[in-house]
Amino acid sequence: MGRQLVIFLDGTGNRFSHKPTNVIRLLRSLPKEREDVLTYYDQGVGTFGVKETLFEWQKLPSRICGLAFGWGLKRNVEGAYHFLAENYRQGDEIYLFGFSRGAYAARALAALIHTAGIVEGYQAHLFDYAWAMLLARTGENHTPDFKLQARFKSTFGRRVNVHFLGLFDTVKSVGWIYDPVIIPYTANNPAVEIVRHAVSIDERRCFFRQHLWRKNDDMKTDLKEVWFAGVHSDVGGGYPPPQSQLALTTFRWMLGEAWRAGLSIDFSRAKKELSIRMRGFPAIHDSMLLGWKFAEWLPRLVWTGEDHQRELKIGAMPPFGQPVPRPMTGVISVHESVVNLMNANPDYRPSNLPRYYSIEGDDPGIASLL
């Protein structure tokens, strides 16, 4: 019987604190002191700083650089990859969870597992080379060197699938100002068996646009992308517990999906995460605070896709206009809690919600356990 290697990558600016994200809630819901469940946690992009600092403000410059330029993405992926290289054995199952840019880091890690495999622990120093191959672009079309990646994988890597990829509101940009090259296999990855993605309906910030999984006819991945009420951190967590009713809804859904996929859950610990008592309608926060209104006007390099060039864009706000809601196009699946909220609160009517959509509920088997 294989073990479960479970990796948790937190969101932008998030770390272990009194305002837990759903990544932390999931981590705390797993059984402790079991040899068959190994966990790894890393704080979010923009939280790392100089370790030898006396005051919190001394870490501020490195946090700003992490948030503005995406510094730290490689470090987040590298730490998790080293954990897998040192601990993976044949037959183990890999579970990856992430929030915000931590969700993108989890997808980047899964992409690296697909292109390079998982090297043995004594070869973990090859990470830099494998990462460089993942990001490299060659030829007129600026495409990765897939042949070189395949040779590296056959020489050094172990062919491994990611069993479960649990995502809370993935955002693709890993920096406010500079957006690095798009990482292949982060929107569709044949090495990922199950994807569960909770997406925010009400987030409006242009630097937090959703990054959905791309579907195609050949895809064998078991995919559910479900839209939830609330802004970015209403979906992924990070507000004080009394303001976290919406985040607990997405946590409960993800917990059920991961449990159905085989993840070991300590339900006595999970119940504690859900024990917060709420009154009235769930509060949808306003993430467009003063600093983020300013950030809407910051220039940002993005890839155009058609001619493989980077184009300078200024946010997503039209001049003197208002931030626009996220587009909800195609076949949309909405969590039942959204419908319940609209029925209970006549003031909640998302303007971007399409006329037709399917309704997704929690796993029915988990209700009796919580």
Is 13 within 8 Å of 48 (Cβ atoms)?
no
Element (H, E) at 21: none
pLDDT of 181 reads 55
Task: Tell me the CA end-to-end span of the chain in Å, nearest whole number.
Answer: 27
Q: What pLDDT score does 46 carry? A: 52
Rounded to 10 degrees, the C-alpha dihedral 188/85/99/199 comes to: 20
What is the predicted pLDDT for the residue at 349?
94
Burial category of 260 from C-beta neighbours within 10 Å (exposed 0-12, middle 13-18, buried 19 and up)? middle
The overall longest dimension of the chain from CA atoms, in Å, is 60
How high is the pLDDT of residue 369?
Answer: 87
Confidence at residue 317, expressed as pLDDT on a 0 to 100 scale: 47
| 275-280 contacts, C-beta under 8 A, 24 or more apart | 276/241, 276/242, 276/244, 276/245, 276/248, 278/242, 278/245
The pLDDT, as a whole number, for residue 12 is 64
Which SS3 state, helix, strand or coil, does residue 180 take? Answer: coil
Residue type, 87: N
Q: What's the pTM?
A: 0.87
- Looking at residue 159, its pLDDT comes to 97
CB count, 10 Å around CB of 212? Answer: 17
Helices (H), the chain: 22-28, 60-69, 73-87, 101-116, 127-135, 146-156, 232-236, 245-260, 267-273, 290-295, 336-344
One-letter amino acid at 315 equals G
Cβ-Cβ contacts under 8 Å for 258 (sequence gap 6 or more):
26, 95, 97, 164, 166, 196, 265
The mean pLDDT values, 10 residues at a time, for the chain of 370 residues are: 94 66 96 95 65 48 53 88 98 97 95 98 97 83 85 97 98 56 87 98 82 86 96 89 84 97 96 77 66 59 53 51 77 95 92 94 88
